[in-house]
Amino acid sequence: MEKKVKVTKEGLKQLEDRLEYLKTTGREEMAKEIAEARAQGDLSENAEYDEAKNAQARMEAEIQELEKKLKNIEIIESGTDSKTVGLGATVKVVIEDEYGEEEAEYTIVGSTEADPSKNKISDESPIGKALVGKAVGKTVEVETPGGLSKIKIKKIVKK
């Protein structure tokens, strides 16, 4: 049995939009690139043609991967329980490490949607794992690539 891919409704839409783009616009653009490279002559020594075919193979692999994920989707509801941290929850925390304290806000999402630059962390990441199932006021210790941190849950925000 395939592993379920946990996503929010927003994440599902992003996956569906990406797949649609690749199947339509992406394939059209790739066909044009291959045609242009083919028009440059001898295919046995045509680096542009080889690169265009490699890019096409990568794109088709991404399409297959997206289709596989979409067959195994499990929609997670955002903020259904504001008593404990769960998938889809946004949580305000205070992080204490050897450098001091700082406040942060994370949204816990499935690995497919994780985007640390937007403070969306996976439930499979060290911090995500430590926070899931914990209540407001709880402090957890997390071993991160930067060292040991203590993270105190200040608030679970419904969105």
Segment 48-71 shows an average pLDDT of: 93
- What is the pLDDT, as a whole number, of residue 80? 52
- Exposed / middle / buried, residue 83 (Cβ in 10 Å: 0-12, 13-18, 19+): exposed
Lowest-confidence region among 1-5, 29-33, 50-54, 97-101: 1-5
Tokens for 108, please give them.
């816990």
Domains and CATH numbers, the chain: 5-75 (1.10.287.180), 90-157 (3.10.50.30)
- What is the pLDDT, as a whole number, of residue 44? 75
Segment 50-60 shows an average pLDDT of: 94
DSSP 110: -
Sign of CA dihedral 34, 35, 40, 45: positive
Give the DSSP H or E segment for 148: strand 147-157
Q: Output 8 or 150, whichever has higher pLDDT.
A: 150
What residues contact 67, with CB distance under 8 A and at least 6 apart? 19
Q: What mean pLDDT, rounded, does the chain reach?
A: 88
